[in-house]
Structure 1
Amino acid sequence: MASYYTDILLVSLLMSSALTEETICAKYTFQDKLVDAVFELQHQVDILKRELKNVQNQLNNYQLSRDMATASMETQLTAEDKRIEEKLTTLTNGLPGRITSVMTGLSTPGGSIYTRWGRSTCNANRTQTVYSGYAAGSHYGNQGAAANYLCLTKEPLWRKFEDTKQSGAPVFGAEYEFDHRSRVTFFDREITDQDAPCAVCQSPRSQLLMIPGRNKCLDGWTLEYEGYLVAGDISHAAASEFICLDANPEALPNDSGNTDGKLFYFAEARCGGSLKCPPYVDGRELTCVVCTK
């Protein structure tokens, strides 16, 4: 650029034929100054160009860094959106089933009912006492009697009746017997011939299981109560059934004495036949446990 301006100045000076030598020398002196100024100006322009390039590089670097940060943020946001969408989809897909489950729980009473033999109340995990009653059943000496034990209510209600004893299915109270054993060893007190209470219990858990032969629930089950397996004596005329008597049985107040009726005897293992011994032991009293789930 400087050379271009210099040539223009020389042509202009040569075309002026009337110029004197002194004038020409003065013009050359001016030309030198002008050339120096042009070079200085070009130098300044070059400096400005370099500074502009540096600024442009800085802007480019900033833009690149911002783009990378934006891309990283967009990647994170995309991943988060995907996670939230997947979770929402899972919740949405499972919602009908959960609604059905809730509606079923509202429309169908849950829980289970069982009798706690030998106790007057129910005190297991969130289990309620429906009513407290008297253990009862057919007389042990009556042939053809009913086999099952009853938990009679303490608040009977009647329909039509005749207050005379007649042939049929008489119901007696139940007593503890446990003959030929030390009752103190098993119950820490003497309970022979004492009258037995019972309680009907409602558990919030729907599955109910009585396990003969053990006094602890299986994994995943909740203990309601544990005790001894009992039934009627094999020498008696009346049939009986096996039930689970609480390990710490109570006695009804105002005991009636030794009047028999429906009786409780220990159930024990008998080896020498098909019962496997071990694990069972000949003559040993069997335990039991009532569990819910």
Structure 2
Amino acid sequence: MKMAFISLMFIVLCWSDVSETTEPACSSFNYEEKLLEKMVRNEFKMEQALKRIDDVEGLVIRQNRTIQGAIGTLKEIEARLDSKLSMSKTGATFIRWGRPSCPHSNNSLVYNGIAAGTHYSISGGGAEYQCLPADPELETVVTRADYTSNIYGSEYQTHGATALSSLADHEVPCAVCFTNATTTIMIPARKTCYSGWKLEYQGFLMAERDIHATNKQYVCVDKDAESAQGSNPADTDGALFQFVFPTCGTLKCPPYNSASALACVVCSKI
């Protein structure tokens, strides 16, 4: 290859010298010097070109390593995101009493319906309010039994109250809500959540009247409570919701006050 290159250069230089002078330059020392000089220059250029090729090749290798590292980082980030998304699919539920919808856009409604429970005048039955769905699927296998426990719809008992009195004797709606928080809590006698907790909704602490034959769990009824769809103010009783007032004595006043009904909040935490 090298000999062919030298022969080619020899022919080119001869042709050049013949065109520029009438003397047969191919036989002179001047031609050999020029040939050698051009060969050295070309060899130097070749070395420079090879060096550039090596530099480019090294750059490509480094960039390839950088790209591979970036791909690895992206895969790691993707795995972390998948993990977080997987975690976000877990969460907690809470019941919003007094409203048929969930309080925040990041909540999802599981179902809504009407509050229900044991009739206020009955000493047996369940002790908790239930949020019965608006679209029940009835059990048709059991249509009769000798001994039963009956459940009733609920009503607000807010007659003469300084809040929600317009809802007296109306049925109570409810909504079961899902949040991506890991836990929820109802805090009685608070209007705000403690540090680190997110407010889902604020309301009034309510329960069955304490002189009734039955009792119910304390629940937090939304401060902007509504009547259930299709509700009317007919006094049909059932499971009842009354405001809860603290009694001074074993409860210290202050900070409590027997003239002020208890507030409540439902809070969540991630």
Instruction: Give yes or no for the alignment of 1:287 onto 2:263.
Output: yes
Residues 254 and 107 of structure 1: is their aligned pair in 2 closer, same or farther, counting only changes over 3 Å? Answer: closer
Q: What is the deviation of 1:241?
A: 1.1
Deviation at 1:255, TM superposition (A): 2.2
**Structure with greater Cα Rg:** 1
Query: TM-score, normalization: structure 2?
Result: 0.65
Aligned to 1:265: 242
2:118 maps to 1:138: yes
Q: Which of 184, 188, 193 in structure 2 is aligned with 1:217?
A: 193
Partners of 2:148 and 2:184 lie apart in 1 by 33
* Cα distance in structure 2, aligned partners of 1:136 and 1:144: 15
Kept in 2: contact 1:145–1:239 (CA 8 A): no
- Flag as ranges the 4+ runs of structure 1 deviating above 3 A: 98-105, 159-167
Q: Which amino acid aligns with 2:108?
A: Q
Query: Any residues of structure 2 matched to 1:67-216 within 5 Å, and which?
Result: 103=83, 106=86, 109-163=89-143, 167-179=147-159, 181-182=160-161, 185-187=162-164, 190-216=166-192
Over 3 Å counting, the alpha-carbon distance change for 1:186 and 1:108 in structure 2 is closer
Residue 231 of structure 1, aligned match among 199, 203, 207 = 207
**1:240 Cα deviation (Å)?**
1.3
Q: Which runs of 5+ in 2 are unaligned?
A: 1-68
Cα distance in 2 for partners of 1:227, 1:166 equals 41
Provide the C-alpha distance between the structure 2 equivalents of 1:287 and 1:123, rounded to a whole number of angstroms: 17
The two structures have a TM-score, normalised by structure 1, of 0.60
Alignment partner of 1:190: what SS?
A: helix
Quickly say closer, same or farther: Cα 1:134–1:284, change in 2 above 3 A.
Answer: same
Q: 1:104 to 1:126 in 2, by over 3 A?
A: closer
> Take 2:199 and 2:155, find their aligned partners in 1: how far apart are those partners?
26
Deviation at 1:103, TM superposition (A): 3.7
Structure 1, unmatched stretches of 5+, are 1-87
Q: Structure 1 residue 278 and structure 2 residue 254: aligned?
A: yes
Change (3 A) 1:102 1:267: same
Q: Determine if contact 1:117/1:244 at 8 Å carries over to the other structure.
A: yes
After superposition, the Cα gap between the structure-2 partners of 1:262 and 1:165, relative to the gap in structure 1 and judged at 3 Å, is: farther
Equivalent pairs counted in the alignment come to 195
Give the drift of 1:108: 8.1
Residue 196 of structure 1 and its aligned partner are, at CA, apart by 0.6
SS at 2:175's partner residue?
A: strand
1:248 aligns with 2:228: no
Identical pairs, percent: 36
> 1:170: Cα distance to partner?
0.6
Larger helix share, 1 or 2: 1
Q: Structure 1 residues 194-203 or 164-173, which shifts more?
A: 164-173
CA 1:291/1:236 → structure 2, altered by over 3 Å: closer, same or farther?
same
Q: Is the 8 A contact 1:229 1:243 kept in 2?
A: yes
The letter of the residue matching 1:247 is: K
- Cα 1:108–1:220 change in 2 (3 A) is closer
User: Contact 2:89 / 2:180 at 8 angstroms: preserved in 1?
Assistant: no
Conserved 8 A contact 1:270-1:283: no
- Once residues 144 and 226 of structure 2 are traced to their aligned partners in structure 1, the CA distance between those partners, rounded to angstroms, is 32
1:85 paired residue number = none
Paired letter, 1:271: C
Partners of 2:98 and 2:134 in 1: CA distance: 15
Q: CA RMSD in A?
A: 2.5
